[in-house]
Amino acid sequence: MASPEEKQSAASAYWREHLRLLFILLIIWFVVSYGLGIILGPALNAIEIAGYPLGFWFAQQGSIYTFLILIFVYVMKMNKLDRKYDVHEE
């Protein structure tokens, strides 16, 4: 059986890894939605996809698609992290 110190250390490591993952995913979402959609939107509008400017696409669709992909990535990574620290659900 693990000592209370070992349990606390494992809980702290689990929380650090969870926050790191969350921070990375939020940065990706911010870059795609705000950076590509708003800040770089005018520059990306010179490129068209299916008749629509790329900056417009990122602002309207790209951030939503990215968010949905990030949800699935988060679920997969958290399941892996839960198994690593043996806190997963059966």
pLDDT of residue 68: 95
The whole-angstrom separation of Cα 55 and Cα 43 is 7
Mean pLDDT of the chain: 90
Angstrom distance (rounded) from CA 25 to CA 77: 11
Q: In DSSP terms, which residues pair with 46 in a beta bridge? A: none
- Between CA 86 and CA 80 the distance in angstroms is 10
Per-residue pLDDT, 1: 66
Element (H, E) at 29: helix 4-30
Q: Among residues of the chain, what percentage have pLDDT more than 90?
A: 47
- Residues 71, 47: Cα–Cα separation, whole Å: 28
Asked whether the beta carbons of 11 and 86 are under 8 A apart, the reply is no
For residue range 19-56, list pLDDT tens digits in order.
999 999 999 999 988 888 888 888 988 999 888 888 88
Q: Name the pTM for this structure.
A: 0.81
